[in-house]
């Protein structure tokens, strides 16, 4: 599975110079296209198991973790793999095989962009 088809959700540098997928939620009504793109990210985090997996990876040292470290979320391993794939398809994680183990890593720029999307860059109070 290639990581090449990560969605162009955000600017890779997180600088805000390259246009992210969407303006802050409070800035203007989303177009259908913007909503489709952003909803994909939110939907990926809209499952408790995926949220735990994502949080486990994000909070692990170096922002990466092998599957063996995070697969204790109460579901079978195929299910864990399934959810990790979903997170990867949403552009929130990337994976890399190193020997026996597969390591998953967060995309910090995506996290930052989603935070910006929600907090409007300002203090979220409009």
Partner DNA sequence: TGTCTATGTTGACACATGTCGAACCAGAGA
Partner DNA sequence: TCTCTGGTTCGACATGTGTCAACATAGACA
CB distance 41 to 52 below 8 Å: no
In whole angstroms, give the CA distance from residue 49 to residue 58: 14
DSSP per residue, 46-74: SSHHHHHHHHHHHHSGGGEEEHHHH--SS
- Closest distance to DNA from the beta carbon of 18 (Å): 27
State the minimum distance, in angstroms, from the CB of residue 67 to a second copy. Answer: 14
> Is residue 37 a contact partner of residue 7, using CB atoms and an 8 Å limit?
yes
User: Quick check: 20 binds a second copy (CB under 8 A)?
Assistant: no
Q: Show the binding pattern over residues 56-95: x = contacts DNA (CB under 7 A), - = does not.
A: ----------xxx--x---xxxxxxxxxxxx--------x
Point out which residues bind a second copy (CB under 8 A).
14, 16, 25-32, 35-36, 38-39, 42-52, 54-56, 58-59, 63, 70, 73-74, 106, 108, 111-112, 114-116, 118-121, 123-126
């Amino acid at each position: 599975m290639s990581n090449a088809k990560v969605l162009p959700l955000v600017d890779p540098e997180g600088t805000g110079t390259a246009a992210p997928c969407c303006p802050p939620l409070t800035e203007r009504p989303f177009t259908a296209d913007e909503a489709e793109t952003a909803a994909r990210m939110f939907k990926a985090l809209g499952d408790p198991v995926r949220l735990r997996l994502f949080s486990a990876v994000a909070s692990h040292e170096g922002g990466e973790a092998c599957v063996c470290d995070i697969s204790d979320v109460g579901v079978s391993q195929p299910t864990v793999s399934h959810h990790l794939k979903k997170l990867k398809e949403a552009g929130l994680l990337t994976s890399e095989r190193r020997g026996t183990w597969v390591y998953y890593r967060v995309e910090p720029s995506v996290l930052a962009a989603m935070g910006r999307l929600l907090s409007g860059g300002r203090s979220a109070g409009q």
